[in-house]
Amino acid sequence: MRHSPELESDNMQTAVNSPACTATAGYTGPSIPQRKRIVVAMTGATGALMGIKVLIALRRLNIETHLVMSKWAEATVKYETDYHPSNVKALADYSYNANDMAAPVSSGSFRTDGMIVVPCSMKTLAAIHCGFCDDLISRAADVMLKERRKLVLVARETPLSEIHLRNMLEVTRAGAIIFPPVPAYYIKPATVEDLVDQSVGRVLDLFDLDTKDFERWNGWKKA
């Protein structure tokens, strides 16, 4: 349950004025560490399960998540998975409408540890490349670049045209990381989910987060 700012302010003021708090007003001990905070965006590209798995992994790792889903992401979730968009949104701590340009994640003053666009369509890639912030996803990504925060784009398209490659090069030069979900076959996957878990684990490696959900390369194994 999310409390209103007014209620939190009243509670905080009551606590500050209490005798117990007054007695320890000079306390300078260690503060409670703040949870990591990551923005997750899902677009209409195929691969909705990857975005869902990212949210599940971050939830398990106790990372605060802020989700933005495009209209076509919701449609793809329904088409490709057994999830309903409302179930996906429930996996995040906070969820925003893609047209809500006043959402907290639209501002550079809102502190985050980075953003993952998963899956990332070529349309969204193009918008990020040229700074065309016509929705909350491209705006939040633009904020990550201007504030020098980590931005990972899990680009889903093949084959790639010169336009796609040029856009990828330019956003990389601007500070983003292009992460095509290329599977590692040495894990000998038995299911599609094995491949998804490996890609999700490698994406979160970029944020120094270990899902422990996939096999890492440890050299050739003896037969």
Spatial distance between the Cα atoms of 142 and 135, rounded to a whole number of angstroms: 11
H helices of the chain, in order, are 5-16, 19-23, 48-60, 71-80, 85-90, 122-130, 136-146, 162-173, 192-205
Identify the residue whose tokens are 């899956």: 119
User: Is 1 labelled as part of a ligand binding site?
Assistant: no
Amino acid identity, position 56? I
Pairing of strands 37-42, 115-120: parallel
User: Is 156 labelled as part of a ligand binding site?
Assistant: yes
Torsion of CA 31, 36, 37, 41, to 10 degrees: 180
Backbone angles phi, psi at 178, to 5 degrees: -90, 125
User: Is 46 labelled as part of a ligand binding site?
Assistant: yes
User: Is 188 labelled as part of a ligand binding site?
Assistant: no
Contacts of 140 (CB under 8 A, 6+ apart): 39, 41, 68, 105, 106, 115
User: Is 20 labelled as part of a ligand binding site?
Assistant: no
User: Is 122 labelled as part of a ligand binding site?
Assistant: yes
Q: Please, are residues 36 and 65 in contact by the beta-carbon 8 Å criterion?
A: no
User: Is 121 labelled as part of a ligand binding site?
Assistant: yes
Q: Please, are residues 115 and 140 in contact by the beta-carbon 8 Å criterion?
A: yes
Known binding-site residues for dimethylallyl phosphate equal 186, 202
Known binding-site residues equal 44-46, 70, 121-124, 156, 186, 202
Known binding-site residues for FMN equal 44-46, 70, 121-124, 156
